[in-house]
Amino acid sequence: GYYNGVKTGFTAAGKYGMVGSMVDPVTKRHIIIVVNGLASEKERAEETDRLVQWGLRQTKNVYFFKEGQTVYKMPVRFGDKR
């Protein structure tokens, strides 16, 4: 997979942390990752990778609607004026 949004940081109180998201190119599954309180950049990277791998192994895609399916037609006030 590849990360498409990442914010890393360090504070004395929170230690090393990261908020990120990634997309698995095979399953198209999106994974959100949040870690904090880690002792080093190395530990942050290892823990993030461990969580991503776990997420990909332990979850599956669930489809509620078919691609292109209209779920609901919302009436829009004055929508027919355009």
> What pLDDT is attached to residue 6?
87
What pTM value is reported for the model? Answer: 0.69
Give the Cα separation of 37 and 41 in Å (integer). Answer: 11
DSSP line for the chain: -EEEEEEEEEETTTEEEEEEEEE-TTT--EEEEEEEEESSHHHHHHHHHHHHHHHHHH-----SS-TT--------TTGGG-
Asked if pLDDT for residue 27 goes beyond 80, the answer is yes
pLDDT single digits (tens) 38-60: 999 999 999 999 999 998 899 88
With vertex at residue 19, the alpha carbon angle to CA 17 and CA 21, rounded to the nearest 5 degrees, is 145
